Structure 1
Amino acid sequence: MTDAAGIRVVAIADADSFVKWSAALLGSVPGLRPHLLLVRTPLTASVEQQRTALAGTGLRSEDVTRVGFAEAAGWLEGQRPDVVLLAGRGPFVRLMGRVIDSLRHRPVTVSGLPGMAIPAQRGALDYRRHTDLLVVHSHREQRAFAELGRHIGVAVPTALATLPFARRRERMLRPERIRVEALAARPGGVAVAERPARPVAVRPPATDIVFAAQALVPVAREERAEIAATLVRAAEADPARRVVVKLRSRPGESETHLERDPYTELLPTRRPKNLVYSHGSMASALESAAGLVTVSSTAAIEALALGIPVIALDSFGVSKSLLNTVFVGSGLLGGRSEVVGGRFRHPHPEWLRDNYFHAEAESTWWDRVQELVALRRAGALPARRLPAARGGALHAAWHRASVLGREDRTLGGSLALTIGAPATRMLSAVRRRSEPTDGGTWADAATDYTLEPNPFHDSIRR
């Protein structure tokens, strides 16, 4: 857990997407040897999901420790990290923040979101308001969270990072793209390519259409069924190419978000042989991809970093509730007929810098972390402690039980859930009826933030 500067770093995570993000983010820091602490919740990644998430990050299985919530504080006291990266959904971050508050040796706390975060959501910022630093991944996100913070009175320092699994890189060479080292004009005006002196690794031709499935969008079953039908049509249109449905979990595994209508149920049992499922990493799926299809998955950015064209489906509209307003102006939006025809798009260059493809030198999050560590060691960085829970011990017990699910075996937690669940539903309904009047609604596509609660009804309890 130590780099050349002697900074000890631990990421605390549970769900698969946060495991992937935190491992890749910390793995991108030269010389850093971080550790990953997986806390058991209903969302905690399985061993197989963990293996997939760690692929290519530099972290190994021995760099991961799995603990129950009750063990986390003791483990952290023993390790005394200088930095803790809180990597989970908002309620998990707040719960682990209370653990951090109990430590004698207080680390710098960093938080962030594992992918594209447009629109910037009120809950995403509010749950992380007591961390020392919020990592964002684009200039647009930085502006959106700053504007959101001004509206709700929350000031959290932000720092820019490149999406760690979406750095620009080249795929291994394919036979139809033999590397040209130089072009030399010979007598007669014939230009020839000089091949490398040594053999180069090759992969099969990239012909796959990869579909990045999402749990949250679209919400309606009939719209998800339309996507499934489009994938079948795409497979039937060209039996020589594979249509790969990239899934986040296997049967029995949990995901970060609850998927109510999985594509495994919507696709026909007797589907075309070239329509297949993939449970491996997105990086592996993209190795043979000619194009990627999604509604709004961060996999689009991962594909673009490899030079793979994308279709961001706009067949159901472009709105905050589809999480696809980020693609306005990108040139990537397209419909189902484009998917079937394989007419994928490359992004407009002017869209890139503001949206996840800024210069590497502008990603200064680790510099900021080092500054915060120096301040904390000098006693010049006050702790951003969580205040006591409104509602006292009963509310604290409800929050703990909501995050931990069956992992919380306390009588207080069971009692709090019995009393608190109906009250929470009522409060959420009241908040949804109290619509803001200054543009921060889910229906207003003109802003990059929301003041309303999110509309996905995506409980952590499973």
Structure 2
Amino acid sequence: MTETALRVVALADTDSYVKWAAALLGTLPEGSDPQLLIVETAVAVSPAQQRAALARSGLDSSRVERVAFADVSRVLAELAPDAVLVAARGPVVRVLIRLVADLEPRPVIVSGLPGISIPATTAAIVNRMQSDLFVLHSTREVNAFDALARRRDLVQRFALARLPFAARSSEISCGAGSGTDLVFASQAIVPRERAERMQVAQLLVMAALADPDKRVVVKERAAEGEHQTHAQRHSYPDLLAKLAPLPSNLVVSTESMSHALDTAEGLVTVSSTAAIEAIARGIPVIALDSFGVDDKLINPVFIGSGVLGPEENVIQRDFRLPPRDWLTRNYFHDADKDDWISQTNELVTLRRAGALAAKPARVRRGGRFRDVWERRLAMGRKDRSLAGAAAIAVGVPLRIVLRPYYRLRLRSA
């Protein structure tokens, strides 16, 4: 089988996973047959978020369809894919992978993470254990996840792909961006506390006041009433409203990051993958280190990059690009190292020959009740079944009681 014959269907729901899945499908070779199914969970992308996620993804909008969870199995059976890319956060990915694994014939199951994935986590692997291939985006990530899987005695096959929205840039260039905007990439849970997020809001106001002729653009992932991959508290628009009147050159935007970068001089973030997207276009960044550098902030990956900086750097617009050695280890490896397509082809060839053994589901306590519980967690209010309601009524109190026990087990494992 040639690498041009793949029929790949992706399942995704939230903003970051829809963007990732669409862009990854957009890197398939000419002649492939890609399709993206947006699963209607309680936090699925809005139509506006969907348009932003698909912008410049390389996937034509005609290849995208929204489906109810109850219809996913039927639609997949009709499409008969060689492989299914399951692109979803933890609670949903487990449910969708089990659903795909029950199809006859069972397609190759591919999964992965949509952005910066350092540090490697056991939960990310465990949630995707039933997938045949786990896609990551730097040689450093592949090495870290492979080492973690070996330590935990978890069997998983990892593949490498340049971050798809970064891969389209021709080459890394030096110097500032060609625009004049300071673009701030908002994150839902980094930093998490209200006081820290207010500190960022105040910093953005100071940056706008420092240079009234240039815009400060607060790039939000969702407008009011829309959902994100992670639930956000203390949104920057709400915090900025408390600092009114605001400088006229400070604006909030929910356009795609790709379009926001068109007019960027530089990008500021704590740890958003938007930093990689900017660097790929030669737009320098500042990774704000005012709250430290640790795993909870998802920013240790920037150690050695030269882009970590304090608030003064933001006000002065002292943006930077990383050195070549950091780039090579982190997201900007040579394209010929990418192997997710070749590995997927290899697995599809085995499947067609009847030689691909299905990976067993993770052993879980709870049986049918556990399945119903996880489906309710994944679908939220979209699951209106009586079984789902009963699972929530029983499972929530039980989860509160057992959570400390399982956390202790995980730390001691």
Taking structure 1 as the reference length, the TM-score comes to 0.85
AA in 1 matched with 2:238: E
Alignment partner of 1:254 is 2:216: no
Alpha carbon RMSD of aligned pairs, Å? 2.1
AA in 2 matched with 1:392: G
AA in 2 matched with 1:256: T
Comparing 69-78 and 57-66, the one that deviates more: 57-66
SS in 1 for 2:10: strand
Instruction: State the Cα deviation string for residues 97-137 of structure 1 (Å, max 9, x = none).
Output: 22112211211000011101011111111000110000010
Q: Tell me what 1:197 maps to.
A: none
C-alpha distance in structure 2 between counterparts of 1:351 and 1:101, whole Å: 38
User: Is the Cα contact below 8 Å between 2:269 and 2:286 reproduced in 1?
Assistant: yes
Change beyond 3 A, Cα 1:152–1:205: closer
Among candidates 322, 331, 340, match of residue 297 of structure 2:
322
Structure 2: runs of 5+ lacking an equivalent: none
Q: Tell me what 2:236 maps to.
A: 263
Q: Tell me what 2:313 maps to.
A: 338
Sequence identity percentage: 49
Alignment partner of 1:14 is 2:13: yes
AA in 1 matched with 2:93: V
Please list, as runs of the form range in 1=range in 2, the aligned pairs for 1:304-315 lying within 5 A after superposition. Answer: 304-315=279-290
C-alpha distance in structure 2 between counterparts of 1:14 and 1:82, whole Å: 21
Change beyond 3 A, Cα 1:333–1:387: closer
Q: Tell me what 1:27 maps to.
A: 26
AA in 2 matched with 1:19: V
Q: Tell me what 2:215 maps to.
A: 242
Aligned residues: 408
C-alpha distance in structure 1 between counterparts of 2:343 and 2:291, whole Å: 40
Alignment partner of 1:296 is 2:296: no
C-alpha distance in structure 1 between counterparts of 2:407 and 2:95, whole Å: 24
Comparing 389-398 and 152-161, the one that deviates more: 389-398
C-alpha distance in structure 2 between counterparts of 1:216 and 1:387, whole Å: 28
Q: Tell me what 2:39 maps to.
A: 39
Q: CA offset at residue 75 of structure 1?
A: 0.9
C-alpha distance in structure 2 between counterparts of 1:407 and 1:378, whole Å: 38
User: Is the Cα contact below 8 Å between 1:45 and 1:254 reproduced in 2?
Assistant: yes
Higher helix share: 2
User: Is the Cα contact below 8 Å between 1:40 and 1:68 reproduced in 2?
Assistant: yes
C-alpha distance in structure 2 between counterparts of 1:228 and 1:121, whole Å: 30
User: Is the Cα contact below 8 Å between 2:8 and 2:85 reproduced in 1?
Assistant: yes
Q: Tell me what 1:221 maps to.
A: 194
SS in 2 for 1:110: strand
Among candidates 397, 401, 406, match of residue 431 of structure 1:
406
Change beyond 3 A, Cα 1:318–1:387: closer
Instruction: State the Cα deviation string for residues 31-71 of structure 1 (Å, max 9, x = none).
Output: 12310111111121111111111111232332112111111
User: Is the Cα contact below 8 Å between 1:10 and 1:83 reproduced in 2?
Assistant: yes
C-alpha distance in structure 2 between counterparts of 1:8 and 1:242, whole Å: 44
AA in 2 matched with 1:312: A
C-alpha distance in structure 2 between counterparts of 1:322 and 1:387, whole Å: 29
User: Is the Cα contact below 8 Å between 1:97 and 1:386 reproduced in 2?
Assistant: no
- Which has the greater radius of gyration? 1
Structure 1: runs of 5+ lacking an equivalent: 178-203, 438-450, 452-462
Change beyond 3 A, Cα 1:154–1:59: same
Among candidates 187, 204, 212, match of residue 231 of structure 1:
204
C-alpha distance in structure 1 between counterparts of 2:135 and 2:410, whole Å: 28
AA in 2 matched with 1:228: A
C-alpha distance in structure 2 between counterparts of 1:221 and 1:355, whole Å: 31
C-alpha distance in structure 2 between counterparts of 1:205 and 1:368, whole Å: 38
User: Is the Cα contact below 8 Å between 2:129 and 2:362 reproduced in 1?
Assistant: no
AA in 2 matched with 1:52: A
C-alpha distance in structure 2 between counterparts of 1:371 and 1:380, whole Å: 11
SS in 2 for 1:352: helix
Comparing 424-433 and 311-320, the one that deviates more: 424-433
SS in 2 for 1:245: strand
Q: CA offset at residue 388 of structure 1?
A: 6.3
C-alpha distance in structure 1 between counterparts of 2:206 and 2:180, whole Å: 16
SS in 2 for 1:244: strand
User: Is the Cα contact below 8 Å between 1:210 and 1:291 reproduced in 2?
Assistant: yes
SS in 1 for 2:85: strand
Q: Tell me what 1:165 maps to.
A: 165
Q: CA offset at residue 428 of structure 1?
A: 2.2
Alignment partner of 1:284 is 2:283: no
Q: Tell me what 2:359 maps to.
A: 384
